[in-house]
Structure 1
Amino acid sequence: MSETGLIDHSDGCPRCWWAGLDPLYVAYHDTEWGVPEYDGRALYEKLILDGFQAGLSWITILRRRDGFRDAFAGFDPERIARFTEDDVARLMADTRIIRNRAKIQGTIAGARAWLRIEDQGPGFSRFLWDFVDGRPIQGKARTRAEIATETPASRAIGKALKAEGFSFCGPTIVHAFMQAVGMVNDHLVGCHRHGPCAELGRPR
């Protein structure tokens, strides 16, 4: 790894340090992380998974993502909102996911909040993207040390999500979420994905 935080791979593509060499992580870095996501259900899924990540590494969640999707009904908020205590007990016994009662209950509460935002407001996607005026913030960091762990935007979004009924949405978790769903392009400038993600964020 270079001093900037870039890793040079055998394919000649410099990548952000956190992707490491794990093929699953590299593929996630190259195809998902930083790509603007506007689908409300996909945004709900990613926010929930980032909440489950709290205290863990993202690769731990990534390796279990298919298990999470199966256990949580494909992250369909309408179905999750109807989960009962029997479902909580089922999930607490499911070794494919992170078995944390507070996070499981938070997922159910978040689904109900998602439905309220969809029914009564601009929709979950618009609710989030309005905090950045509908377009990705383009990061300009050239080194790992320049990447923020939270921002005024992540603090504002976290506060708004909590007010709606979401949990595990502190400013650090929300900033990681914003990076992942392309609300902010935090690929290092020297990373081969910075330019493509910036292009995806340009007004059409």
Structure 2
Amino acid sequence: MKMECSWPGDNQLMRMYHNEEWCVPTTDDQYIFEMLTLEGAQAGLSWSIVLSKREAYQKAFHNFDITFCSNLTDNDLTNIKEQYNVIKHIAKLQSVRSNAQAVIKITKEFGSFSNFLWRYVDFEPIINEWHSEGQIPAQTDLSNQISKDLKKRGFKFVGPVTMYSFMQAIGMVDDHVTSCVYHTSNKERKIKENGF
């Protein structure tokens, strides 16, 4: 019998994120930037806290419009810290602006932020075959490499552990356990069985 990964527990936001977004491949730069921001905000905190504040982040940063975020002033960021239910860590909030500026530079060079990131995996997600959640790594050589490369380009809060979570968030890796109905192999099987 196929089950689901256990890490979301009974938290509804966590379950929705696991079922609908986690490890689903995306090339949408605005969504990718959102995930980069939220994963950076998580550093030292739990993902459930970040998800509970996600709607406030979306309002504060205009749904993570990259141009808007790149043009934020220090006063804008202070106002966001004071007026919105975001994590009150000023360096993390400032990183939204500097990371947006870095994304714009990458976009000019590679056509999109998505192109830059997905070339690390030859534009194909890594489908892992973990049998238990304890096997899933916190970081990998690849997340370490991406972390180093992004830091060189001026990104903040992009350590190797954060980058591995980010890779999961945008579907560069599928780390659902093999017994989870949302693992790629099970989703493909379900599609075939339903005749789609």
Question: Does the pair score TM above 0.5?
Answer: yes
**1:3 corresponds to:** none
SS in 2 for 1:16: coil
Structure 1 residue identity aligned to 2:147: G
More helix, by proportion = 2
Which among 21, 25, 28 is matched to residue 32 of structure 1?
21
| Residue 34 (structure 1) shift | 0.9
**2:68 corresponds to:** 79
Structure 2 counterparts to residues 55-204 of structure 1, below 5 A: 55-195=44-184, 199=188
Residues 15-73 of structure 1: per-residue CA shift (max 9 Å, x gap): 11211012221111111111101111111110111000111111111111110010112
User: In 2 relative to 1, CA 182–197 (structure 1 residues): closer, same or farther, beyond 3 Å?
Assistant: farther
Using structure 2 for the length normalisation, give the TM-score.
0.91
CA distance in 2, matches of 1:179, 1:132: 13
| Residue 184 (structure 1) shift | 0.3
Residues 149-197 of structure 1: per-residue CA shift (max 9 Å, x gap): 1011101111111111111001100001111211000000111101368
When structure 1 is superposed on structure 2, of 189-198 and 151-160 the one drifting more is 189-198
Equivalenced residue count is 188
Using structure 1 for the length normalisation, give the TM-score.
0.88
**1:15 corresponds to:** 4
Contact 2:2–2:179, Cα closer than 8 Å, also in 1: no
Structure 2 residue identity aligned to 1:188: V
CA distance in 1, matches of 2:184, 2:73: 45
CA distance in 2, matches of 1:14, 1:72: 36
Structure 1 unaligned regions, length at least 5? 1-11, 200-204
| Residue 121 (structure 1) shift | 2.6
When structure 1 is superposed on structure 2, of 14-23 and 50-59 the one drifting more is 14-23
Structure 2 unaligned regions, length at least 5? 189-196
CA distance in 1, matches of 2:121, 2:157: 21
